[in-house]
């Protein structure tokens, strides 16, 4: 079972078009996930039809990659406004954020909203100044803008001290020096490993998992997604769902998955800190906790706002 020290859960915060999809594509490719003949026909984080139609990412997705024995779970966050509390729910699975900003455009107002929520949740940011290859790029000014924004949003001293990585997602490299081109994304991967804390939690405790998202799959139906906050989960275990109204429902955990590159893969077990998906539980809802039957202890319920379909600023 994966030790929590070998896990990093990161959310990406970016304004639309600042290069989130391109960066995740490049990270996946460089982490060696794509086997030689596996074609990447679709860009990863934008693969949903609805998103494509609207040209924006509105549904949180999970993907993961491996770098130096560490599993990096990447949680997509909507880049604009809030859809049913989705930003908050996605951020709650993360232990740090990549704040991705275009080196020419700089900070955009829509990033502010999500960043504020991340800072309030005490997440550690890594600042990624992307598109430094653009002829008009002004990376150092943009870093100043980001720091101003962090100050403005009440970031802690630690958050203000966030590492900065300069990147060209398009060309697949990152560098810690704004004046120097990198060769690959290693500086970014290394910064993620060193600056973003691994998830905490007791591996030997009783299972606690907050359902942060619900996915649907035509084949398996409703799929609950969340991070294991405590303990372990084993396929076939008995468990209990703690409902918002205080009632509980007994269930059997039958189909358990973790995220690997772009897919959900079936596993027999998973441990604290990892992000998992459980299918086969028909009436499970966001905000409910999956617990061990002998220690029923719900996690704080995440309120879901009504979807806000217009911009709030």
Is 22 annotated for ligand binding? yes
Determine if 80 is a binding residue for ligand GDP (CB under 6 A): no
Is 111 annotated for ligand binding? no
Is 142 annotated for ligand binding? no
Determine if 227 is a binding residue for ligand GDP (CB under 6 A): no
Kindly tell me which residue out of 7, 10, 14, 281 binds ligand GDP, with binding defined by CB under 6 A.
Answer: 14
Is 132 annotated for ligand binding? yes
**Which CB atom, from 169 or from 223, has the smaller least distance to ligand GDP?**
169
Determine if 108 is a binding residue for ligand GDP (CB under 6 A): no
Residue 92 main-chain phi, psi, to 5 deg = -65, -20
Q: In angstroms, what is the minimal distance from the CB of 252 to ligand GDP?
A: 39
Q: In angstroms, what is the minimal distance from the CB of 137 to ligand GDP?
A: 8
Which of the stretches 129-137, 139-147, 190-198, 221-229 binds ligand GDP when contact is defined by CB under 6 A? 129-137
Q: In angstroms, what is the minimal distance from the CB of 60 to ligand GDP?
A: 14
Binding mask 163-202 for ligand GDP (x = CB under 6 A): -----xxx--------------------------------
Which of the stretches 15-23, 89-97, 203-211, 302-310 binds ligand GDP when contact is defined by CB under 6 A? 15-23
Determine if 59 is a binding residue for ligand GDP (CB under 6 A): no
Q: How far is CA 151 from CA 11, 12, 99, 112, in A?
A: 21, 20, 15, 12
Residue 223 is encoded by which pair of tokens?
Answer: 């799929």
Which of the stretches 11-19, 188-196, 263-271, 287-295 binds ligand GDP when contact is defined by CB under 6 A? 11-19
Binding residues vs ligand GDP (CB under 6 A)? 14, 16-22, 130-131, 133-134, 168-170
Q: Which residues are annotated as a binding site for GTP?
A: 17-22, 130-133
Q: Which residues are annotated as a binding site?
A: 17-22, 130-133
């Amino acid at each position: 079972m994966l030790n929590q020290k070998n896990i990093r859960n990161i959310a990406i915060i970016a304004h639309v078009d600042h290069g989130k999809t391109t960066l995740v594509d490049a990270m996946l490719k460089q982490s060696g996930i794509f086997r030689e003949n596996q074609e990447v026909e679709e860009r990863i984080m934008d693969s949903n039809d609805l998103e494509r139609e609207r040209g924006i990412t509105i549904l949180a997705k999970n993907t993961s990659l491996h770098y130096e024995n560490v599993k990096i779970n990447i949680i997509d966050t909507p880049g604009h406004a809030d859809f049913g509390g989705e930003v908050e729910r996605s951020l709650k699975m993360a232990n740090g954020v990549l704040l991705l900003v275009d080196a020419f455009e700089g900070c955009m107002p829509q990033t502010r909203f999500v960043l504020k929520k991340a800072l309030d949740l005490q997440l550690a940011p890594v600042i990624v100044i992307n598109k430094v290859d653009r002829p008009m790029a002004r990376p150092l000014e943009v870093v100043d803008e980001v720091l101003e924004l962090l100050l403005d949003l009440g970031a802690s001293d630690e958050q203000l001290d966030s590492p900065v990585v300069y990147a060209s997602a398009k060309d697949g490299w990152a560098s810690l020096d704004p004046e120097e081109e990198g060769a690959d994304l290693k500086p970014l991967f290394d910064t993620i490993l060193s600056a973003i804390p691994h998830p905490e939690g007791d591996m030997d405790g009783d299972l606690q998992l907050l359902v942060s998202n619900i996915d649907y799959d035509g084949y398996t139906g409703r799929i609950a997604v969340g991070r294991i906050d405590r303990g372990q989960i084993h396929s076939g275990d008995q468990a209990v769902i703690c409902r918002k109204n205080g009632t509980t429902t007994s269930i059997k955990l039958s189909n358990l998955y973790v995220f690997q590159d772009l897919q959900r893969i079936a596993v027999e077990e998973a441990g604290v800190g990892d992000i998992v998906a459980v299918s086969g539980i028909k009436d499970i809802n966001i905000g409910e906790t999956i617990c061990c039957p002998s220690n029923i202890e719900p996690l704080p319920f995440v309120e879901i706002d009504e979807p806000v379909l217009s911009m709030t600023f």
